[in-house]
Structure 1
């Protein structure tokens, strides 16, 4: 599979993601003035709104752990780094990989914004020795559970412009009982256990309030309503891994 070259001028970043990057730059100034993945993680722990606030509440000592590990990292002070929009400071090659991976994940799920969940997921998926040493011993599954948990994120769409979505082989259809096992596996893999109860509630209904995105027989997304704590009038927008979830 050919990788898509990421051009960060082609899409928008949520304000929270931009603040994480700004925090990362401030932390990078304390080392060798190059933004590394650990600076992005520290930025995430400093951005204490939305999902990041939940991460701080559930993982309050994460910031101290990351600061200590940053102090013990052997930064290459001869490294020049590279320029990469929208970060004003130079970044390391590994940070470039994080941003490009986030871009590819965004494009894969037809999104137009990189949110903090996509950014964190791309960072945690990075397989390089330095990043592995940063997250060693951290409860990564807990972090992923927090950033992908269902939550009320009602927002006005008054000024929203729908993006152009390229034709694809994805079919959107109502879920059937035969989809239960495959959808539960998909949800558990991509979101953790927090969505399972909602999905199980949906499949207990005679008229299943769940829709799936089916790509060549494989579930790649879902939407559901009236399933969160079995309350009526809750609608969940199309949900892809680490995409923001809206309930109205």
Structure 2
């Protein structure tokens, strides 16, 4: 069985949840400890979550005095100092399902918050105590794809990957094979978006490809989303090649091309997982108030 991997924010979330449970004399980490522990990370989307919750924080932190603690689950989870409650365990298991559904390999804060809200109706008393919260804005901020910006002018974006992989610009003769491959692995929508790149009058096709032994394993595009200049994405990498530098190689090569074209900033459109871009290229979130993506139903 492959060990579950966590983002840095989730590691901090777990530490916070452990401390909150200890402070409240819980024998198990409650689902509310996970939720409040996420807000107290105060980084990236969780900084926005904290600011949205801040006016209600005294009320929230008093919930443990109002609602009796749930019973403990029997199985201890790695990195938690005490067992999870039965309800928190449902949230945790659901978060792993969400991660797998999105074909991701690191558990992130969005998976956990999405899972919390999926199971909140099963805890009517907790749902009632949280009824005044701006839930839709929190869900939108933490669980939905977000736009980010990258400043391009202060870094050399050239990057060499392991020699077993080849990363280079797409050529015109790659069109048919690439579009078919993208549709097969990432869906028709992305494939249709990439068509724009091959229909442009410009000589350079703004798509970077990654190959292993002559076979596609990933791609990164820019200037293709609705024909808007300066927008990075979409980008996709096959699961078996993740964590081997291929994603970073595609990202850096594309950003280098954008820098060469004279762009000062790149907009990462509906990027995910967010922490990857925050870490690898110092990407900054565009505030949720300016994010036009709509809330999706569960």
The structure 2 residue matched to 1:125, chosen from 118, 123, 126, is 118
CA distance in 1, matches of 2:97, 2:14: 18
Question: What residue in structure 1 maps to residue 136 of structure 2?
Answer: 141
In structure 2, list runs of 5 or more residues that go unmatched: 152-156, 163-183, 196-223, 237-254, 282-298
Is residue 39 of structure 1 aligned with residue 39 of structure 2? no
For residues 33-89 of structure 1, the C-alpha deviation after alignment (integer angstroms, 9 at most, x for no partner) is 21111111121222122222222234322432211222211225xx34332233221
Is residue 98 of structure 1 aligned with residue 60 of structure 2? no
More helix by share: 2
Larger deviation: 40-49 or 79-88?
79-88
Question: What residue in structure 2 maps to residue 110 of structure 1?
Answer: 103
Structure 1 position 128, deviation (Å): 0.8
Query: Counterpart of 1:74 in 2: which secondary structure?
Result: coil
**Cα 1:96–1:47, aligned 2, differ >3 Å: closer, same or farther?**
same
**Cα 1:209–1:89, aligned 2, differ >3 Å: closer, same or farther?**
closer
Is residue 203 of structure 1 aligned with residue 198 of structure 2? no
Query: Counterpart of 1:150 in 2: which secondary structure?
Result: strand
CA distance in 2, matches of 1:117, 1:24: 16
For residues 215-236 of structure 1, the C-alpha deviation after alignment (integer angstroms, 9 at most, x for no partner) is xxxxxxxxxx99xxxx875253
Larger deviation: 59-68 or 145-154?
145-154
Question: What residue in structure 1 maps to residue 191 of structure 2?
Answer: 173
Question: What residue in structure 2 maps to residue 81 of structure 1?
Answer: 73
Q: Say if 2:7 and 2:107, in contact at 8 Å, map to a contact too.
A: yes
CA distance in 1, matches of 2:4, 2:127: 29
CA distance in 2, matches of 1:134, 1:102: 23
Q: Say if 1:153 and 1:245, in contact at 8 Å, map to a contact too.
A: no
Please give the TM-score of this superposition, normalised by the length of structure 2.
0.52
Query: Counterpart of 2:104 in 1: which secondary structure?
Result: coil
The structure 1 residue matched to 2:59, chosen from 57, 65, 78, is 65
Structure 1 position 135, deviation (Å): 3.0
Query: Counterpart of 1:89 in 2: which secondary structure?
Result: coil
Q: Compute the RMSD of aligned alpha carbons.
A: 4.0
Structure 1 position 108, deviation (Å): 1.2
For residues 81-106 of structure 1, the C-alpha deviation after alignment (integer angstroms, 9 at most, x for no partner) is 33223322111111111111111111
CA distance in 2, matches of 1:175, 1:124: 32
Question: What residue in structure 2 maps to residue 236 of structure 1?
Answer: 268
CA distance in 2, matches of 1:153, 1:40: 31
